[in-house]
A and B are shown apart, each in its own frame.
Chain A
């Protein structure tokens, strides 16, 4: 079946980096984009950015520009999100989602908890 499976929970110190993976299966990976969305504890959904799995084009949320990098590995149908210079307010559940303009975010990963704490 169509699914996205994310890597496990991470605990990082302030100033460190984290890289979360999202492995796709059940569909043609390069035919869709992948978006990353995060949710801080008790808060709403925050869109972080998008990457085309076809050509690697990216578009990042302005507030994360310079700290976030999204990449894909088409040989393994895996998307990655790296966030650098972590702060305590980056503590959140990070989700990947299959993204299209016409059909919105129809498939979601299970989420990855990232905790930033000294």
Chain B
């Protein structure tokens, strides 16, 4: 099975900061990677799919890049509503999926 790791697991940042989260896969997954945002008590929300395609309605300050085994999610200027937990997910082994362990972004 494909395993995903995320770094860091916790990140403390200020409004306006540029934030980067990394997701690494245990084997190549082409560009079949998605990123989700989850706030407490809410369902996850799709931000990016196919590694770099922004889901409709998601602000352009979010961007994704990478292919193969290393991927990044970048928030260009952190906003108050962006404090949440972020998960990556691989879809290369469809219909068997894996989520990363998550990165919590907290207020400094």
Interface of A is mostly: strand
User: Please, how many residues of chain B have a CB less than 8 angstroms from a CB on the other chain?
Assistant: 24
Whether A104 contacts B34 by the Cβ 8 Å rule is: yes
CB contact under 8 A between A108 and B99, given known A44-B87, A45-B87, A101-B94: no
Which B residues lie within 8 Å of A110 (CB)? 43
What's the count of A-B pairs with C-beta under 8 Å?
64
Whether A45 contacts B44 by the Cβ 8 Å rule is: yes
56-111 of chain A: CB within 8 A of chain B: 57, 59, 61-62, 95, 97, 99, 101-106, 108-111
Whether A59 contacts B96 by the Cβ 8 Å rule is: yes
- Residue interface bits B49-90, CB-to-A below 8 A is 1, else 0: 110000100000000000000000000000000000001010
Q: How far is the CB of A57 from chain B (nearest CB, A)?
A: 8
**In this assembly, does A115 line the interface, its C-beta being within 8 Å of a C-beta of chain B?**
no
Whether B102 contacts A50 by the Cβ 8 Å rule is: no
Q: How far is the CB of A13 from chain B (nearest CB, A)?
A: 26
Contact among B46, B87, B102 for A106, CB-based, below 8 A: B46
Tell me, in angstroms, the Cα distance from A94 to B97 when the chains sit together. Answer: 16
Contact among A57, A59, A105 for B89, CB-based, below 8 A: A105
24-59 of chain A: CB within 8 A of chain B: 33, 35, 37, 44-47, 50, 52, 57, 59
Whether A45 contacts B91 by the Cβ 8 Å rule is: no
In the complex, the chain B residue whose C-beta lies closest to that of A6 is B43
- Residue interface bits B17-40, CB-to-A below 8 A is 1, else 0: 000000000000000101010100
